Structure 1
Amino acid sequence: MRKIIVALKRKNVNNAGTKAKNDIEYFLAKDGFEKLDIDLNDIDCLDFVHSSLDNSESKMIVVQYGGVALPIIKKILRCIKKIPNSKVILILHDVESLRSFKSNKFSFLEKIKSKLEINIFNSVDILIVHNEVMKKKLLLIGVKSRMESIEIFDYFNSNIVLPRENVKNNKICFAGELSKSKFLLDFNTKKYELDLFGPNPAEKYGEGVSYLGEYKSSELPEHLNQSYGLVWDGTSLETCEGFVGKYLMYNNPHKTSLYLSCGLPVIIWDQAAIAKFVDKYNLGFTIGTLNNLDKFMSTITDDEYFKIKKNCMEMSYKIREGFFIRDAVVRSIKRLQ
């Protein structure tokens, strides 16, 4: 059986989304997947896909979904599905039908996009989704393809030295696109420090909040020497609100993988889908609001922290070796054979 991962890219594009996809390509290469690069700026890319894969040998083809216009990914998948003896595994990164979801109400344009997205999901042999919550929600909105859960995205990180288990400070880090995390504008802390990393910071933040710059995803882990990583989003400290906040109820934020790859315990919204993973492996603290963060943090004993820290250190090795995506792909292939 020939194992292939199709890499859909545009030249000279570099962002966190690209990091997640590149990591999956790297990890699957370790398991014998050959990479087929497709430049989306090449108008002949579809013919290239077909000519490269069209033979009688059985093929397991992995495609990553997210960051590509729906009509383009639809055409590419349609082309791949025509190849004899091929099975398609689609790895989901972002799901617009869930990102835009709000109380069962969609605008006309959102309905059209959602229908197209669901049709794309139903055109492949199996989906690798973020978690069981996402899987159940996709079933409810009409996805009929088989699904496997990845649990958490892996994070390739070869250049850092993991912090010592017995080190603890009063600092929390938050990494991401800062302009969309409006809750940061209201964040204040007296007992702890919040260090921010990422593009588009505000001109001013509250007490205890410091902006420490923007780094490439490969360099950022070297600067995460805090004791905790924060997973929160949206407009409010009270709860995760707005489109980006509510999306945490379904997706696996890549920043969670970043923190855990560095061995950092996470502080996460208790209604986030990935909070179940954090609780399952005792990797941090789930909270309902940030309004009482100082009080909550003061209740964490050193013994409790270092026990969780040890768990995070052990989990970091799995995440940095691609355990979760490799396992999800193996499970998917078994179901298709």
Structure 2
Amino acid sequence: MKKYQIVEISENYNHAGTKATQDIAEVADVLKYERILIRMNTTKRTKLAKVQRQIGYRKDWAECLKRVEENSVILLQHPFHYPQLTREKTLTELKEKKHVKFISLIHDVEELRAFRYNDYYKGEFEFMLRIADVLIVHNAVMKQFFIERGVSEEKIVTLEIFDYLQKGSVINVPKFEKAITVAGNLDTEKCGYVGQLGELSGVSVKLYGMNYDKKMDQCENVQYFGSFPSDEIPGKLTSGFGLVWDGASIDGCVGQSGQYLRYNNPHKLSLYLSSGLPVIIWKEAAEADFVEKQGVGICVDSLKELSAKFEMLDENAYNKYAESVRELSEKLRTGQFGKYAILSAEDILKL
């Protein structure tokens, strides 16, 4: 049986979008999923560019329909973020006429994220539910959401955590430090908690990423180290804890983005752990259970607890966390969670 994966690539970028989607594509490569490219040939917003994009999409989907053999399996990564002429028609035809099976791996559920949930994403989600033979979801909490939407438990696989592929086998040995690192979007308007990190007494804060607010230069406990590509940032994370947090406040993950942590596997968790750093995570996050079971970090209700937590923390306790992270890091760096999930999906399909 032939195995394929749909890989979307953009103009001037010979890769599959974000780090998370790239990594899944590379893991699928190892498992012999042949790539079928759907190309965004221009990112311009003119009327002509929109027409050119749709012509390109139509051509690529026509090639997909022609190329895929009968009784094959196709791996899809959801959601598709852009309308594409003939996509749904092609996938439906593959299912109904060529008896293709679909494995759908979920990156985001816009209904839960509530950030840009609109008619397009609602339709995209409902189509995915109709076409998928197996769904790979983030974790047990997200699995329950899909079950409540009518998906049979038998056709759901949980990923547990996203991998974070890294070349080379050297894993950072982190230094004991009563500090937290935030790597990601530092926009204090979108991520209000970032602007409040200066209020944490007795806690050093290290910031990496785009949209740094220079007003934070006035915070004595905060240092900004710049922004780095996804393949360089792991080498910068060398001490303390990585912070897995979101939303408008340091006192619990409130707001839409904060509440999404109740359901999703944040990619920065994978970044920190694959880089060797133990983590601090919101106690009500879906992945708090994973962190606790793996012994790779501390769960808190509020970042205001950190001062007291750090007072009780000694180097031996920190090193225990770091050792547990080291064992997990190798799996994340080599794509073991993605491999296991895809192979589990294949088992359900009896490939």
What TM-score, normalized to structure 2? 0.86
Match of 2:105 among 91, 102, 105: 91
After superposition, residues 19-58 of structure 1 pair within 5 angstroms as 19-40=19-40, 41=53, 42-43=56-57, 44-53=59-68, 55-56=69-70, 58=71
**How far 1:122 sits from its partner (Å)?**
2.8
**How far 1:132 sits from its partner (Å)?**
0.8
Deviates more, 1:111-120 or 1:247-256: 111-120
**How far 1:111 sits from its partner (Å)?**
6.9
**How far 1:270 sits from its partner (Å)?**
0.5
**How far 1:110 sits from its partner (Å)?**
4.2
C-alpha separation between the residues in 1 aligned to 2:6 and 2:123?
A: 24
SS in 1 for 2:313: coil
Deviates more, 1:289-298 or 1:253-262: 289-298
1:248-280 residue CA offsets vs partner (Å, 9 max, x unmatched): 000000000000101110100000001111111
| 1:153 maps onto 2:138 in alignment | no
AA of the residue aligned to 1:123: I
**How far 1:298 sits from its partner (Å)?**
1.5
C-alpha separation between the residues in 2 aligned to 1:224 and 1:67?
A: 32
C-alpha separation between the residues in 1 aligned to 2:205 and 2:16?
A: 21
- Residue 196 (structure 1) aligns with: 207
Match of 1:183 among 187, 193, 198: 193
Alpha carbons 2:28, 2:339 under 8 Å: kept: yes
After superposition, residues 19-168 of structure 1 pair within 5 angstroms as 19-40=19-40, 41=53, 42-43=56-57, 44-53=59-68, 55-56=69-70, 58-66=71-79, 68-69=81-82, 74-75=88-89, 77-82=91-96, 84-100=98-114, 110=118, 113-114=121-122, 116-144=124-152, 146-158=155-167, 161-164=170-173, 167-168=175-176
Unmatched tracts of structure 2, length 5 or more: 41-52
Alpha carbons 2:16, 2:22 under 8 Å: kept: no
Alpha carbons 1:182, 1:235 under 8 Å: kept: yes
- Residue 269 (structure 2) aligns with: 256
**How far 1:32 sits from its partner (Å)?**
1.9
C-alpha separation between the residues in 1 aligned to 2:28 and 2:186?
A: 31
Alpha carbons 2:9, 2:17 under 8 Å: kept: no
C-alpha separation between the residues in 1 aligned to 2:150 and 2:184?
A: 31
SS in 2 for 1:185: helix
Identity %: 34
AA of the residue aligned to 1:49: C
- Residue 48 (structure 2) aligns with: none
Let me know the Cα RMSD of the aligned residues. 2.4
AA of the residue aligned to 1:19: K
Alpha carbons 1:118, 1:143 under 8 Å: kept: no
Deviates more, 1:235-244 or 1:139-148: 139-148
**How far 1:192 sits from its partner (Å)?**
2.8
C-alpha separation between the residues in 2 aligned to 1:151 and 1:214?
A: 28
Structure 1's 139 and 127: CA in aligned 2 closer, same or farther, altered over 3 A? same
Deviates more, 1:126-135 or 1:18-27: 18-27
C-alpha separation between the residues in 2 aligned to 1:111 and 1:100?
A: 12
- Residue 104 (structure 1) aligns with: none
Alpha carbons 2:179, 2:239 under 8 Å: kept: yes
Unmatched tracts of structure 1, length 5 or more: 102-106
SS in 1 for 2:194: helix
Count of aligned residue pairs for this structure pair: 328
1:70-102 residue CA offsets vs partner (Å, 9 max, x unmatched): 66664553354245142110111011011119x
1:112-147 residue CA offsets vs partner (Å, 9 max, x unmatched): 743651342232111100001001012223445821
Alpha carbons 2:243, 2:281 under 8 Å: kept: yes
